[in-house]
Amino acid sequence: MDKLKETIRQSAEKWLTDLLGFAARNRFKELAAEKNPFTLFPEARTCIVIGRRITRGTLRGVEEGVNFGDYSSFGRG
């Protein structure tokens, strides 16, 4: 398992991921089913969390009313 985690870490670094984490199944046991990722994948044992920063300029076009394409990628979801 450690080898798989290290491979994932290296890939995340290659793709300039800002945040990477691994959460064990028991961390989600108190969540309601609609918020628990293991509801979708009941056979999974670990949840992989990936985060990328959204810079100020990314959504500026949405704020100014000239570019709503980025909103569906970053603002709504």
Rounded Cα gap, residues 44 and 55, in angstroms: 32
* Residues contacting residue 48 through CB under 8 Å, at least 6 positions apart: 8, 20, 21, 22
**Which residues are 24's β-sheet partners?**
46
pLDDT for 70 equals 61
C-alpha of 13 from chain center: 14
Q: Are 76 and 69 in contact (CB under 8 A)?
A: no
pLDDT for 63 equals 75
Q: What is the pLDDT along the chain (77 residues), one digit of tens a residue?
A: 689 999 999 999 998 889 999 999 999 999 999 999 999 999 999 999 999 887 777 777 777 777 666 656 655 54
pTM confidence score: 0.65
